């Protein structure tokens, strides 16, 4: 995972942007505005990063988290045009 800056923005497209699936191993965005958005979304469900961290050692209830692309292009699409 790399942060996009003014210096490297030309190396990336919207298809490279990822969003965190929150868990105790996920790095929160360093952009304060985006971090606040994520935290506000979690607070709607009474969740915080501290709650994820407190469950990290409990395998049965821990969530490591992950990242997902916000946009994905379809590849190898096969289609037929069928007239009715």
- In degrees, to the nearest 5, what angle opens at C-alpha 47 toward C-alphas 41 and 50? 120
Q: What average pLDDT does range 48-65 have in this prediction?
A: 86
Confidence class of residue 30 from pLDDT cuts 50, 70 and 90?
Answer: confident
Judged against a pLDDT cut of 80, whether residue 1 lies above it is answered with no
47-76 in b/e form (b: 16+ CB < 10 A) is eebeebeeeeeeeeebeeeeeeeeeeeeee
The predicted model scores a pTM of 0.66
């Amino acid at each position: 995972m790399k942060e996009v800056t003014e210096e490297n923005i030309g190396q990336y497209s919207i298809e490279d942007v990822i969003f965190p699936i929150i868990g105790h191993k996920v790095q929160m965005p360093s952009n304060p505005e985006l971090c606040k958005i994520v935290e506000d979304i979690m607070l709607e469900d009474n969740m915080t990063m501290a709650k994820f961290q407190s469950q990290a050692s409990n395998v049965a209830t821990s969530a490591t988290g992950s990242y997902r692309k916000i946009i994905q292009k379809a590849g190898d699409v096969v289609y037929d045009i069928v007239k009715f």
